[in-house]
């Protein structure tokens, strides 16, 4: 699987726009479905923390930002990184996943913080700008 940014970038480059799922729940506007998007560079830093801190308690840890962001935010940041106007079309969520589609996911980060991890994470906007300009636009994929 490739990253959501990878797919977003290529859809925008190939079509000039981005298609996002329309909301089928009254509590959410179109494109306001949210995920805890995290940059792979932050994941690597978290892994290095555990490699370098053998005293951290063994167990299962969430790796995320602890802050859900919308697909609208993700698309807008990708358009901005490319210097393009935002052109978003909302399409129906496919029927076969509509009933189980998650509208909100966010990692609980307390356990990782209690283990001593305090690094500042990339913002969605800065992570997308870095990934698009240093890797995707240069056909160097991470």
User: Is 82 or 54 the better-scoring residue by pLDDT?
Assistant: 82
Sign (positive/negative) of CA torsion 126, 129, 135, 136? Answer: positive
118: how many CB neighbours lie within 10 A of its CB? 8
Give the separation between CA 142 and CA 126, rounded to whole angstroms.
Answer: 16
pLDDT at residue 142 tops 60: no
Domains plus CATH for the chain? 4-136 (3.90.25.10)
Nearest Cα to Cα of residue 50 among 37, 39, 59, 40? 59
d(CA 29, CA 125): 21
What is the model's pLDDT at position 139? 76
Closest CA to 116 of 42, 65, 37, 52: 52
Dump pLDDT digits (tens) for 15-53: 999 999 999 999 999 999 999 999 999 999 999 999 999
The pLDDT of residue 76 is above 70: yes
Alpha helices in the chain (DSSP H): 4-15, 40-52, 71-82, 95-98, 110-114, 124-131
Please give the mean pLDDT across all residues of the chain. Answer: 95
- Strands 88-91 and 18-21 come out as parallel
In angstroms, what CA-CA distances link 73 with 7, 58, 77, 79, 138?
Answer: 15, 35, 6, 10, 23
The pTM of the full predicted model, rounded to 2 decimals, is 0.91
């Amino acid at each position: 699987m490739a990253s959501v940014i990878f797919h977003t970038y290529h859809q925008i480059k190939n079509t000039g726009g981005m298609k996002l799922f329309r909301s089928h729940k009254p509590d959410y506007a179109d494109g306001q479905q949210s995920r805890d998007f995290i940059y792979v560079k932050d994941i690597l830093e978290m892994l290095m923390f555990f490699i370098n801190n053998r005293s951290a308690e063994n167990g299962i840890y969430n790796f995320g930002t602890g802050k859900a962001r919308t697909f609208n935010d993700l698309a807008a940041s990708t358009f901005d990184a490319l210097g393009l106007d935002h052109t978003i079309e909302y399409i129906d969520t496919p029927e076969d996943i509509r009933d189980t589609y998650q509208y909100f996911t966010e990692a609980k980060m307390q356990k990782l913080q209690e283990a001593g991890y305090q690094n500042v994470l990339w913002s969605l906007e800065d992570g997308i700008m870095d990934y698009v300009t240093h890797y995707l636009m240069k056909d160097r994929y991470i």
